[in-house]
Amino acid sequence: MITADFAIVPVGSKDTECKDYVTAAVQAIKDSGLNYQLTGMGTQIEADNLKELYDAIATAQEAVFKIGVGRVYTIIKVDDRRDLDNRTLNVKIDTVNEMLK
C-alpha cells in the first residue's frame, strides 16, 4: 500500500478563500475511488501503485485548474513501503496511538 499526503495551492486567485478549490480537488479524489482522509492542511490518500496515486493527484490538480485559476502549486509526500503489507493510513495512526498509552 502506498500512502501520500498532498496539497494543491491555487496561485493568483482573486480571493484568499480556498474552499472551492479544496472541494474540487477532494471531489476528484473521492471520484477516483481511492481511500482518502481530508485534514485541515491537506489530503491523505492510499493507492496500490504509483501510477494510480499520481493519476488521482493529477486529476485533482486539473479539477482546480477547471475552476479558473491559471497556476497551482502542488506539494506531495509519498510513503512507498514495500517491506510490510497492509500499511494503511489507519494502521499507521493506530500504531502510534497504541504506543502513546
Full DSSP string of 47-76: ESSHHHHHHHHHHHHHHHHHTT-SEEEEEE
* Tens-place pLDDT, residues 66-83: 998 999 999 999 999 888
Pairing of strands 2-11, 42-47: antiparallel
Predicted confidence (pLDDT) at residue 86 exceeds the cutoff of 80: no
Where does the pLDDT of residue 5 fall: very low under 50, low under 70, confident under 90, or very high at 90 and above? very high
- Out of 3.10.580.10, 3.30.70.930, 3.90.170.10, 3.30.70.141, which CATH number does the structure's domain 2-100 have? 3.30.70.930
pTM of the model: 0.87
Domain coordinates in residue numbering, the chain? 2-100
